[in-house]
Amino acid sequence: MRKLSIPTLLVVSPGDMQGAVEKQVREVYVASVGRKKQLVIDKSGFHGTDMIKRAGVSGAAL
Protein backbone atom coordinates (compact mmCIF):
# COMPACT_ATOMS: atom_id res chain seq x y z
CA MET A 1 0.00 0.00 0.00
CA ARG A 2 2.93 2.32 0.40
CA LYS A 3 3.36 2.34 -3.39
CA LEU A 4 -0.30 2.27 -4.42
CA SER A 5 -1.31 5.73 -5.59
CA ILE A 6 -4.56 4.97 -7.43
CA PRO A 7 -8.00 5.75 -5.95
CA THR A 8 -8.81 3.11 -3.36
CA LEU A 9 -12.07 1.99 -1.75
CA LEU A 10 -11.86 -0.34 1.25
CA VAL A 11 -15.09 -1.83 2.58
CA VAL A 12 -15.36 -4.03 5.66
CA SER A 13 -18.06 -5.48 7.87
CA PRO A 14 -17.28 -4.74 11.54
CA GLY A 15 -18.17 -8.25 12.76
CA ASP A 16 -15.76 -10.18 10.53
CA MET A 17 -13.76 -12.55 12.70
CA GLN A 18 -14.70 -10.68 15.91
CA GLY A 19 -13.40 -7.39 14.53
CA ALA A 20 -9.98 -8.67 13.46
CA VAL A 21 -10.66 -8.00 9.77
CA GLU A 22 -11.83 -4.43 10.47
CA LYS A 23 -8.62 -3.80 12.40
CA GLN A 24 -6.53 -5.09 9.48
CA VAL A 25 -8.45 -3.04 6.91
CA ARG A 26 -8.00 0.09 9.03
CA GLU A 27 -4.24 -0.61 9.12
CA VAL A 28 -4.18 -0.96 5.32
CA TYR A 29 -6.09 2.32 5.01
CA VAL A 30 -3.60 4.15 7.22
CA ALA A 31 -0.65 2.62 5.34
CA SER A 32 -2.01 3.69 1.95
CA VAL A 33 -0.24 6.71 0.49
CA GLY A 34 -2.98 7.32 -2.07
CA ARG A 35 -4.59 10.76 -2.02
CA LYS A 36 -8.03 9.51 -3.00
CA LYS A 37 -8.91 6.79 -0.54
CA GLN A 38 -12.06 5.90 1.32
CA LEU A 39 -12.81 3.49 4.14
CA VAL A 40 -16.37 2.27 4.55
CA ILE A 41 -17.47 0.32 7.62
CA ASP A 42 -20.60 -1.44 6.34
CA LYS A 43 -22.84 -2.25 9.29
CA SER A 44 -25.27 -4.38 7.26
CA GLY A 45 -23.62 -7.54 8.56
CA PHE A 46 -23.23 -8.94 5.06
CA HIS A 47 -19.93 -10.00 3.53
CA GLY A 48 -18.39 -9.88 0.06
CA THR A 49 -20.77 -9.17 -2.81
CA ASP A 50 -23.74 -9.60 -0.44
CA MET A 51 -22.85 -6.15 0.93
CA ILE A 52 -24.04 -4.82 -2.41
CA LYS A 53 -26.67 -7.36 -3.45
CA ARG A 54 -28.55 -7.88 -0.19
CA ALA A 55 -27.98 -4.78 1.94
CA GLY A 56 -30.71 -2.62 0.45
CA VAL A 57 -30.03 1.11 0.67
CA SER A 58 -26.55 0.74 2.15
CA GLY A 59 -25.67 -1.75 -0.59
CA ALA A 60 -26.87 0.64 -3.27
CA ALA A 61 -24.67 3.35 -1.75
CA LEU A 62 -21.58 1.17 -2.19
pLDDT tens, position by position, 1-59? 677 778 989 988 887 777 788 899 999 999 988 889 999 998 888 878 887 788 777 77
In a domain, 2, yes or no: no
Distance CA 33, CA 49 (A): 26
In a domain, 50, yes or no: yes
- Pairing between strand 8-12 and 37-41? parallel
In a domain, 3, yes or no: no
Number of domains in the chain: 1
Write 14-20 long-range contacts (CB < 8 A, 24+): 14/41, 14/42, 14/43, 15/45, 16/47
Q: How much is the pTM?
A: 0.73
In a domain, 1, yes or no: no
Domain carrying residue 15: 8-61
